[in-house]
Amino acid sequence: MLASSLLANYCTGLHDDQAHRVDKYLHHLQLSDETLMDVSIRFRREMDKGLCRDTNSTAAVKMLPTFVRSTPDGTEQGEFLALDLGGSTFRVLLVKVMAGGKQKVEMENLIYAIPEHLMRGSGSELFDHIADCLANFLEKFGIKDKKLPLGFTFSFPCQQTKLDESVLVSWTKGFRLSGVEGQDVVSLLRKAIKKRGDFDVDIMAVINDTVGAMMTCGYDDHHCEIGLIVGTGTNACYMEQMRNLELLDGDEGRMCVNTEWGAFGDDGALEDLRTDIDREIDAGSLNPGKQLFEKMISGMYMGELVRLILVKMAKEQLLFQGKTTAELLTTGSFNTSYIYAIENDKEGLASAETVLRGLGLDPSVEDCVATQRVCQIVSTRAAHLCAATLVAVLRQIRDNKAAEKLRTTIGVDGSVYKNHPEFSRRLHKMVRRLVPDCDVRFLRSEVGSGKGAAMVTAVAYRLATQHAERQGILDTLRLSREQLLEVKKRMSEAMVRGLSKQTYEQATVKMLPTYVRSTPDGTEHGDFLALDLGGSSFRVLLVRVRSGKRHNVDMHHKIYSIPQETMQGTGEELFSHIVYCIGDFLEYMGMRGASLPLGFTFSFPCHQSKLDQGILLNWTKGFKASGCVGQDVVTLLKDAVRRKGEFDLNFVAVVNDTVGTMMTCGYEDPRCEVGLIVGTGTNVCYMEEMQNIEVLEGDDGRMCVNMEWGAFGDNGEVDDFFTQFDRIVDDCSNNPGKQRYEKMISGMYLGEIVRNVLIDFTAKGLLFRGKLSERLKTRGIFETKFLSQIESDRLAMRQVRSILQHLGLTGSTCDDSVLVKEVCSVVARRAAQLCGAGLAAVVDKIRQNRNLQQLSITVGVDGTLYKTHPHFSSIMQETLQDLAPQCKVTFHKSEDGSGKGAALITAVACRVKRGGQH
């Protein structure tokens, strides 16, 4: 045995000489800074390929989304289990996270072995083994009866679709089990636990060790946004901007991306740098052609690289006097941990001698020196390659942030990084040399990725608890099929009550006769004026109807607004304003002296006893003008014309917008016998059999009935579907307790319902981090048009974000945007379903009136909500089809609004009158 002291004397000159010879022999394993910079640039290109939707499928570096969206914020607390599987042993941990003033984590853990035969057997055997060990752990700590949230660190390439769903892409690190690739590992673990049946856990998150390292260090250092592993295998993850992750929708905020960089080079990108030894190692591995970068770096292959070099040098008479032994020729006989010992400053050469003798060799001092140098070259190349790819990740983050200088932390774990005496120093040094403009801190993950899994779980648990609370609130706004059928049934009953002589006085749905007895037949002609009043703006129209060819209608119109103070002032002011606008229009059209037949669309509940008279029953839609309720609106308008004294008008018909819509669509589609409005307000009219309208004489033919269905529910018919939010909106409205169905459906109120849900969420800390903006407290600030904009948002939440900023919520996050969109969607869906359920009652009544098995009918529709909301019409039609399967209903959008309808009713009335005079 050579004594250490003797060795030391020998060494210095010999050392240099021998080292020089090895350097020359292995020159291709020593990479210059230029080469490393080039590797970094290549890797950055590979990252882009993996991130890009079009190239991801062929990319070697997969850049997998992990669905880890946020790092701990310090409010996490509770007990969590973690499983950590990624090598030949696995750990089970119990992690207690304390919130409050001091963030604190307490951990207990046990390590379990995975026998060799299980690493190569069937997947079900491995997962059964894991479930057995988990049961053993729970028993030891006396927590088998608790159902705790569990985080699962599974350190193999996986395709994640959700935080708790991860499909194994391929085994690495010497594992090769059947029946697992292509399967969701969480399901396999759940199955194994269920099979035992003596305990239960709530698996909330599956991550890989790299993400675990980042999250563990991220708990202690909020700058940490990269995780690095150099152990049995190697990999890195980092926080990427969502906008760069083309595989997923949404471009707000960040998500952790698992690069799976071990596969860098699998597409040939590193061929010029791979040596014969690298190729030999690959050929003899379990997965030839795969994980080529990892095979140049990680602990699983480092020892084998050294062994193959020693064998080659011996065969070329450069070592061991050209002798080899059976042990040296045995794959895997040179353990990576030998390298750690051989590269040790003081004991290195002695360790080299011990190791070589253990392989049956009789080494000289030169052999020991050469072996040490081979180890240094192999491990230095590994550290430098690792630095090159890490630099690409650092540059990506710096560019994402558009920062001059990046300050960031890298959480690192893995046996090579931790146990090799020089690896970490070489890695740090090379990173700083290649990116001098980044201030990088390396933080060792002391407790491994298990704590990281627990932290991901703690964050997921916090998010899940909040999610469950939010869904509980939103569930009050979701309607079941049974509830919708009940709405239909009650609407049918309300219609019968409104038509019956005995009950119509008390009925909420008034079923008002409109005196419109027929739809257009195409022979109408002439010039007609129309007025259209039903919201905060109104229109004056000139409509020229030509007979003969159908659909020949020319229109000219002008829109005028009605100031808020006029809507809520006196009736005299309101009607004088309308007459002033008519005068302006006649002037504009150069028709000052003309006296044309006029149709007046007046979209408020009216009682009619003839076509040209309408007694206002009550104001809706925010109008409150005094002295009008109980009066005939045609008379009020005539009085205003008389007061002005500048022109005369010939009033023929007063109709509401719903009837106007039915008539307009009826002009184009003779099957149109229902009119529907879903805009500021909502209402329906339809052709009812005269014999059913008991308040009128005569049983022949049909008449259009204006349902005024917005008031459905004013006698409590919708109370059991009315939520706390509906109550707030109703209480704060101009007409509390009235138009309750309309308040759950129409454009005037949906924004308010959404606003009140958002306020409730924020007050409970479930949104906007519990901070309410002053603007959001303002009634009416969340306009219904926002619902349409938010739900048509193809711009990945940018619309939502800008609307929230307009509402003073400047600090809102990506998660906030997603939630606001969900609230909008739930509120609009309910509105569309309620509307569909009401309509189902109407078309079924028409079908029953006519004793038909199947009814084919067209509904004419108008209103901003129906027309501009991206999903309202489809949800409403879906509901209608489901609740009235015997009716085939076509929807016809009224393009010219109800003004044209008023002119057509006037035209029909003039035609009928002319016919009567003949």
- Return the bridge partners of 859, or none: 674, 891
Element (H or E) spanning 225, and its range? strand 224-230
How big is the chain by its Cα radius of gyration, in Å? 39
Q: E strands of 14-164, at which residues?
A: 64-65, 78-85, 89-98, 104-113, 149-154, 158-162
Contacts of 348 (CB under 8 A, 6+ apart): 341, 342, 372
Q: What are phi and psi of 402, to 5 degrees?
A: 50, 45
Q: Are strands 149-154 and 78-85 parallel, antiparallel or unpaired?
A: parallel
pLDDT value, residue 655: 87
For the residues of 818-857, what is the DSSP string, one character each? HHHHHHHHHHHHHHHHHHHHHHHHHHHHHHHHTT-SSEEE
Other CB atoms within 10 Å distance of the CB of residue 111 = 11
Spatial CB neighbours of 393, under 8 Å, sequence gap ≥ 6: 47, 226, 236, 238, 259
Give me the pLDDT at residue 8, please.
Answer: 52
> What is the predicted pLDDT for the residue at 796?
47
From the list 539, 740, 755, 801, the catalytic residue is 539
Residue 601: name the closest of 913, 906, 859, 914 by CA.
906
d(CA 530, CA 541): 5
Question: To the nearest 10°, the Cα dihedral for 304, 307, 308, 311?
Answer: -160
Instruction: Identify the bridge partners of residue 613 per DSSP, sorted by sequence position.
Output: 610
CA gap 891, 341 in Å, rounded = 81
Sign of CA dihedral 687, 692, 695, 701: positive
Q: How many CB atoms lie within 10 A of CB 436?
A: 9
Task: Mark whether 769 is an active-site residue.
Answer: no
Q: Around 398, how many Cα atoms within 13 Å sit in the side-chain half-sphere?
A: 20
> Residues in the chain with pLDDT < 70?
1-14, 73-75, 99-103, 251-253, 448-449, 548-551, 793-798, 811, 813-814, 897-898, 915-918
Instruction: Please list, in sequence order, all residues whose beta carbon lies within 8 angstroms of the beta carbon of residue 496, skipping any fewer than 6 positions away.
Output: none
**For residues 452 and 817, what is the distance between their CA atoms, to the nearest angstrom?**
27
CA 392 – CA 389 distance, rounded (Å)? 5
CB 245 within 8 A of CB 259: no
CB within 8 A of 790, min separation 6: which ones?
Answer: 799, 800, 803, 820, 821, 824
Measured in degrees and rounded to the nearest 5, phi and psi for residue 443 equal -120, 120
For residues 307 and 334, is the Cβ–Cβ distance under 8 A?
Answer: yes
Closest CA to 2 of 259, 297, 257, 367: 367
Write out the two tokens for 183: 């399967």
Cβ–Cβ under 8 Å, residues 684 and 710: no
- Of the candidates 379, 603, 817, 898, the residue annotated as catalytic is 603
User: Which of 367, 657, 815, 844 is the catalytic position?
Assistant: 657
In 273-363, beta strands by DSSP E = none
pLDDT of residue 20: 87
Identify residue 890 by its one-letter amino acid code. Answer: T
How many alpha carbons lie under 13 Å from residue 26 in its C-beta half-sphere? 29
| pLDDT, position 918 | 40
pTM of the full structure: 0.70
Report helix, strand or coil for 38.
Answer: helix
For residues 719 and 679, give the distance between their C-alpha atoms in angstroms, rounded to a whole number. Answer: 23
Whether 657 is a known active-site residue: answer: yes
Cβ partners under 8 Å of residue 684, min gap 6:
658, 674, 675, 676, 677, 707, 709, 838, 839, 842
3-state secondary structure 620-677: CCCCCCECCCCCEHHHHHHHHHHHHCCCCCEEEEEECHHHHHHHHHHHHCCCEEEEEE
For residue 528, the one-letter residue type is: F
CB-CB contact of 228 with 210 (8 Å): yes
CB 133 within 8 A of CB 145: no
C-beta separation of 264 from 236 below 8 A:
no
Contact indicator for 861, 894 with CB cutoff of 8 Å: yes
Which residues, 6 or more positions from 915, have their beta carbon under 8 angstroms from its beta carbon?
A: none
Say what angle helices 423-434 and 365-401 make with each other, to 10 degrees.
40
| Ordered strands of the 149-154 beta sheet | 104-113, 89-98, 78-85, 149-154, 202-207
**Crossing angle, helix 185-196 and helix 123-140, to 10 degrees?**
60
Element (H, E) at 213: helix 209-220
3-state class of 532 per DSSP? Answer: strand
The whole-angstrom separation of Cα 781 and Cα 755 is: 8
Are 662 and 672 a contacting pair, CB within 8 Å?
A: yes
For β-strands 406-413 and 224-230, DSSP reports them as parallel
Q: What is the helix, strand, coil percentage profile of the chain, to 5?
A: 45, 20, 35
DSSP string, 369-398: HHHHHHHHHHHHHHHHHHHHHHHHHHHHHH
C-alpha–C-alpha distance, residues 92 and 153, integer Å:
10
Q: How far is CA 319 from CA 8, 372, 593, in A?
A: 20, 12, 118
What letter would DSSP give residue 484? H
Q: Are the C-beta atoms of 216 and 411 separated by less than 8 Å?
A: yes
| Sequence-separated (6 or more) residues with CB below 8 Å from residue 53 | 246, 247
8 A C-beta contact, residue 683 and residue 621: no
- The answer to whether 620 and 742 are in contact (CB under 8 A) is yes
Q: How far apart are CA 386 and CA 230, in angstroms?
A: 9
Residue 915 has what pLDDT? 65
